[in-house]
């Protein structure tokens, strides 16, 4: 097994274990605004995905990601199957040359793009996009503009996702089943965004463990407000890369 492949298998294992541990929590969140099946469906799907990943013979990262995506797609069902699993199947292709800072950014961007397209959701709709968008943007900027260590970039991304999840609470759902509640969706934390955060947290934990480093400290409570020239501060990190 390639190192990258083994790392992804380990990450999937960790996610499956954590989702199972959070199952009741996710179900409670979903009961408030949906049909109370998110915890059970995700736990079943990730357990199957972890089994499928472990059964692969000497896989590379792309193969593991694709297998996990397909299994989630088949086992989770509902809207979460295509969103969490389908997006992974498509994004997996970005890892065809293994996991590097560059391919990880491409993977993250493709994943977010697929989730946005499939769910027709944008930031502020009270969905998993609210967790993923700040995470992916922060990861990209940290790698491409700030040039920090990948593990630190991932830690910042998790930190950003956490704030994204908090952001889902005071806003009104515009997509997904919660949107049927209209204004009554305000005040509820989105279960899909919560799952996305849980997955990112486990990716970070496994990455730190495999690199044998401590998870870098970030300060979720007080985002850094740049006090330099506003024009400079508002530079789009994407402008530093070739796309957009």
Partner 1 sequence: MKKLINDPDDVVDEMLDGMTAAHPDRLRRLPDTQVLVRDDGPVEGKVGIVTGGGSGHEPTHAGYIGDGMLDGAAAGDVFSSPTADEFEELIGACDAGDGVLAVIKNYEGDVMNFETAIELAEMEGVEVESVVVDDDVAVEDSLYTSGRRGVCGTILVHKAAGAKAAQGADLSEVKRVAEKVVDNVGTMGTALTSCVTPEKGEPTFDLGDDEIELGIGIHGEPGTERTEAMPADAVTEELTDAVLDDLDLDEGQEVLTVVNGMGATPQMELFVVNRRLQELLGERSLETYDAWVGDYMTSLDMAGASITVCAVDDELKELFDAPADTPALTTT
Binding residues (CB under 8 A) for partner 1: these are 70, 73-79, 81-83, 85-86, 89-90, 118-119, 174-177, 179-180, 182
We find the least distance from the C-beta atom of residue 188 to partner 1, in angstroms, to be 16
> 164, 193 in Cβ contact below 8 A?
yes
Nearer to partner 1, 76 or 207 (CB): 76
Q: Torsion angle of alpha carbons 81, 98, 237, 222, nearest 10°?
A: 70
Nearer to partner 1, 56 or 74 (CB): 74
Nearer to partner 1, 5 or 81 (CB): 81
We find the least distance from the C-beta atom of residue 126 to partner 1, in angstroms, to be 12
Q: What is the separation, in whole angstroms, between the first and last Cα of the chain? A: 36
We find the least distance from the C-beta atom of residue 64 to partner 1, in angstroms, to be 18
Nearer to partner 1, 88 or 204 (CB): 88
Residues recorded for the chain:
244
Nearer to partner 1, 115 or 135 (CB): 115
CA distances (Å), origin 93, targets 61, 62, 89: 10, 6, 8
Cα torsion angle, 86, 8, 199, 72, sign: positive
We find the least distance from the C-beta atom of residue 229 to partner 1, in angstroms, to be 39
Query: What are the two backbone dihedrals, phi and then psi, of residue 217, each rounded to the nearest 5 degrees?
Result: -75, 135
We find the least distance from the C-beta atom of residue 97 to partner 1, in angstroms, to be 19
């Amino acid at each position: 097994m390639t190192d990258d492949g083994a790392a992804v298998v380990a990450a999937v294992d960790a996610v499956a274990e954590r989702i199972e541990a959070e199952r009741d929590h996710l179900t409670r969140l979903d009961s408030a605004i949906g049909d109370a099946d998110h915890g059970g469906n995700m736990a079943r799907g990730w357990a199957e995905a972890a089994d499928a990943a472990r059964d692969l013979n000497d896989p590379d990262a792309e193969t593991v990601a694709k297998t996990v995506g397909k299994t989630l797609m088949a086992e989770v069902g509902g809207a979460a199957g295509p969103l969490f699993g389908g997006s992974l199947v498509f994004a997996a292709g970005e890892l065809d040359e293994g996991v590097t800072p560059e391919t990880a950014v491409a993977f993250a961007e493709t994943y977010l793009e697929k989730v946005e397209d499939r769910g027709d959701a944008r930031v502020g709709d009270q969905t998993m996009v609210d967790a993923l968008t700040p995470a992916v943007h922060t990861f990209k900027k940290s790698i491409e503009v700030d040039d920090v260590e990948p593990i630190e970039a991932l830690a910042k991304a998790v930190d950003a996702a956490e704030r994204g999840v908090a952001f889902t609470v005071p806003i009104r759902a515009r997509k997904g089943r919660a949107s049927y509640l209209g204004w009554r969706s305000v005040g509820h934390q989105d279960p899909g965004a919560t799952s996305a955060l849980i997955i990112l947290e486990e990716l970070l934990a496994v990455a730190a463990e495999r690199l044998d480093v401590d998870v870098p400290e970030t300060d979720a409570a007080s985002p850094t407000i740049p006090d330099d020239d506003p024009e400079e501060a508002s530079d789009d990190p994407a402008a530093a890369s070739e796309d957009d």
